[in-house]
Amino acid sequence: MRTVIIGTGAWGVAFARILAGDARGPVVLLGRDPGKCAVLSKELPNALITTDPAALAMADLVLWAVPCQFTRAVARSLAGVIPTGAAVVSLAKGLERGSLERPSVMLASELGCPVGALSGPSLAAEVAAGSPVALVCAGPPQVRQAVVERVHGGRIRIYSSTDLVGVELAGALKNIVAIAAGMCDGLGLGDNAKAALVTRGLAEMRRLGRALGADDATFAGLAGMGDLVATCWSRLSRNRALGEAVARGSRPVDLLSPGGTIAEGAWTAAAALALAERQAAELPIASQVESVLWHDRPVPSALDALLARAPKDENA
């Protein structure tokens, strides 16, 4: 039995650190950069760190820690290498621009394996430090069982769900709300405004999820409210930090340049709006975030547009 983690970003490394440190069977971390892998090999002596895809040959559990916008290309390059019987679990949180697909849909299409998703409030630095964390795994029964058997225990608690659509949508959409929450911080609007924005952001997440067949209850759980709270308030949140920096005057084009820190919500905002248009679902906060990041709308103007909306029923 072998667990292979694909992706040497903060999330992939955090998982490798925890699983290898707890001696939960052989753990492999697969990356692309030989130099980075050499450094990680010294930091994680209990894991095999490699750039060789052949390490996937014996995998029965694959944890996919590749950012959403790169998932399809990397999966296509590994097609035929990952055993078809392996359980593949996406740790990515986003929607692909263009196709508007969730990570599990891309992975299932490219790899032909059973695919699930693992999500919840999980700031990588805290997980790597060994802080307690609770996550929810959604997907086919064999995938959920593999994750519970291999990942649950110690300071990681795993819950199960059959709502793969809801778990992935919640994880993707909360990043957009976190950017807006960061903008509240950057403008110094205070806790009342931020709490209102996050609450209405959750309503948007649930609205689009409902249109796509997700369970409302998922958005009140770990993948929804749990991750939303962590991402919107933590100083470790990249999406919240992006929104704060833009509100303080930084140019989005500079913050989103290649090689910078990846804040998935920036790309998810555009994809979510296109998906919402297909479903005739209204996403006013996501719309304003997208207009600020990709169309140079000033943050105060976006705030004014939200405040100028007509009154409506809270549960509409």
- Give residue 145's identity as a one-letter amino acid code: Q
Which among 65, 157, 177 is positioned nearest to 117, based on CA atoms?
65
Question: Which one is catalytic: 36, 42, 93, 174?
Answer: 174
Tell me if residue 93 is catalytic: no
Q: Which residues are catalytic?
A: 174
